[in-house]
Structure 1
Amino acid sequence: MSELTAKRIAVKPAMQALFLVFRIGSERYALQAIEVAEVLPRLPLKPIPRAPDWVAGVFAYRGTVVPVIDLSALTFGLPAQARTSTRLVLVNYRPDETVEPQLLGLILEQATDTLRCNPADFQPYGLDNRQAPYLGPVREDAQGLLQWVRVADLLDEQVRALLFPSPPLDPALLEERP
């Protein structure tokens, strides 16, 4: 074994993770790729009456009804722009370890890039934004700041109960109502 090979083996590489990078307006955000189940083109959605404005609706995906939120509308009150790069990203939503992950759709603008970096590169940005607990630490690079969106913190208890009732509603019971 050469000396160079021995040094490479001895040096432990920094832990790298893959992130899906997207934009809300002109700002950059990232989701950890291990939370992403699938990236789809934007699809037609069935609206949910009396849901918050940022709940975009639901759609059928492989026999399951999946709720979808518009992250731009949730964060800044403006719906995502309909661009060719606007995607419907399915994530494994799991608010805590006691529940099984469920699919949640996110409408994301310019969700076309990925980034591989050390998660430790993201640092707290010093603001206590309790209105948006899903907005995590930031990472600075040549393009500016990139903010990590934490999937588990996207929904508060009230919206979670609307989108993921527990126990799930039985469709047969819904048909019996007058």
Structure 2
Amino acid sequence: MSDLAAKRGAVPAAKKALFLVFHIGSERFALKATEVAEVLPRLPLKPIAHAPLWVAGIFAHRGALVPVIDLSALTFGTSAQARTSTRLVLVNYQPQPWSEARRLGLILEQATDTLRCDPAEFQPYGLDNQQAPYLGPVREDAQGLMQWISVADLLTAEVRALLFSAELSL
């Protein structure tokens, strides 16, 4: 392949990003793939006493304890269905650019597809949902609307203090 052909092929891809697509019920959502550390099958979890219902528990992964939240329960109050396509997705949770990134597990339904698109295709939807600041812009395609989830905005300060050490609960 010539240098010119390589540059031509790289220009459109430079604007595009890879997203992990998943469902909550019949609704589609996406996580930016750069925030995803690993996709695992659903695993047994140890519950955390007095945690919000959407905190699914913790598990040991490569020598570290990882807290896990059920994104379906967080978003719509209903636990994720136990499907063969339900995954435990480890994300790099970093609520502030200066804070250390930590592993956070997300239980996601039908987390088996990816999408490569220009992030600018996701547009604000006009609502300021302060109860769910992690719900980002939406993208329309032939299958309907898909909403971008912001990993950094998933947890409140109180839940960060519960799940992680005090240094993250700024």
One-letter identity of the residue aligned with 2:119:
P
For 1:160-171, list aligned pairs within 5 A.
Answer: 160-167=160-167
1:13 aligned onto 2:12: yes
Q: RMSD between aligned alpha carbons?
A: 1.9
Task: Number of aligned residue pairs: give it.
Answer: 164
Distance in 2 between the 1:138 and 1:78 partners? 22
One-letter identity of the residue aligned with 2:141:
D
For 1:82-97, list aligned pairs within 5 A.
Answer: 82-97=82-97
Deviation at 1:23, TM superposition (A): 0.1
Deviation at 1:109, TM superposition (A): 0.1
Distance in 2 between the 1:142 and 1:167 partners? 44
Deviation at 1:139, TM superposition (A): 0.2
For 1:17-56, list aligned pairs within 5 A.
Answer: 17-56=17-56
Partner residue of 1:173?
Answer: none
Deviation at 1:12, TM superposition (A): 4.4
Distance in 2 between the 1:167 and 1:24 partners? 31
Gaps of 5+ in 2: none
Radius of gyration: which is bigger? 1
1:167–1:156 Cα change, 3 Å:
closer
1:161–1:114 Cα change, 3 Å:
same
For 1:58-77, list aligned pairs within 5 A.
Answer: 58-77=58-77
1:167–1:127 Cα change, 3 Å:
closer
Identity %: 75
Partner residue of 2:130?
Answer: 130
One-letter identity of the residue aligned with 2:137:
P
Partner residue of 1:155?
Answer: 155
- What secondary structure, in the 3-state scheme, does the structure 2 residue paired with 1:110 have? strand
- What secondary structure, in the 3-state scheme, does the structure 2 residue paired with 1:13 have? helix
Structure 1 length normalisation: TM-score? Answer: 0.88
Structure 2 length normalisation: TM-score? Answer: 0.92
Gaps of 5+ in 1: 169-178
1:64–1:140 Cα change, 3 Å:
same
Per-residue CA deviations over 1:75-96 (Å, capped at 9, x if unaligned) read 0000000000000000000000
One-letter identity of the residue aligned with 2:134:
Y
